[in-house]
Amino acid sequence: MSSELLKYVGSQIKMFRKIKKLTIDDLAKMIGKSKSTVSKYESGEIAIDIATLYDIASALNTSMVILTDYQENKKIDIEQSRIWQADQLYMYHQSGEITYSSFMRLRKDEANNKTIATLYYKVDNLDNFQDCDCIYQGYMSHHENILNFNLQNCMYNSESVLINFFVPIRKTVTISGLISGLEDITLRPSSHKVVLSKTPLSDDEQKELLKLSKDVIKRLRDEHVFRVDD
């Protein structure tokens, strides 16, 4: 197991432990290991056997798949590839005056012939996407002009999100769609316009692409339908 993979798995464990508000000592007691051993797991100093990794995933209420969701950087032609062929994507949405960035990783599940999608939701820094509000995982599906993500909150199984896009025939770097789920504070069902991009977007690009046109607002008022056309 490469040192890069060990460090990545360790960083995933540390991230989920902090999200669960557990100390290293808490996690160590839950899996029957010493505090120093868990500390070395998180720093990538020592490898983790399969049985222990399973125990850690169970203790953190996540899966072994997401803890080991490591991919080496691959060079792809961003302009020529379809958006669902990317290994990673960037998602943006706006709430009030604030624009939020999220990061998504895609990985092919060869055994089930599906694409696993992991969404790091509301990241503070795209270069450190593990510092996020929460993580969703599920599957991506696409058929001709339709692209869907059906994802479940990794920490709270009661919450899930559905993200839908209409993909134009022409190859494009960005597409617009809707994310539907529960609002953070009120827990009421809600939808937001989102922009999915193969590359990070500048502040001006985010602002322009997330605008709601007059037609969208009029349709919502007259027909009670929130449909994103652009």
- What digits encode the pLDDT tens for the residues 135-159? 898 999 998 889 999 999 887 778 8
pLDDT of residue 76: 52
Domains of the chain with CATH codes = 3-67 (1.10.260.40), 83-223 (2.40.128.120)
Could you tell me where the beta strands, DSSP code E, fall in the chain?
Answer: 88-95, 98-109, 114-123, 132-143, 146-153, 160-166, 174-182, 189-197
Name the nearest CA neighbour of 93 among 222, 2, 190, 179: 179
Give the residue, 6 or 69, on which the prediction is more confident. Answer: 6
Q: How far apart are CA 210 and CA 225, in angstroms?
A: 18
Nearest 5°: phi and psi at 71?
-135, 135
Q: Report whether pLDDT(1) > 60.
A: no
- CA–CA separation, 32 vs 218, rounded Å? 59
pLDDT in tens, 173-215: 899 999 999 887 788 999 999 999 999 999 999 999 999 989 9
Percent of the chain with pLDDT over 90: 55
Reported confidence tier of residue 110, pLDDT bands at 50, 70, 90: confident
- Identify the pLDDT of residue 230: 66
Tokens representing 1 are: 């197991």
pTM of the model: 0.82
Taking alpha carbons only, the member of 53, 51, 50 closest to residue 38 is 53
**Residue 77: pLDDT band by 50, 70, 90 thresholds?**
low
Taking the chain, what is the end-to-end CA distance rounded to the nearest angstrom?
Answer: 45
In whole angstroms, what is the distance from residue 141 CA to residue 31 CA? Answer: 35
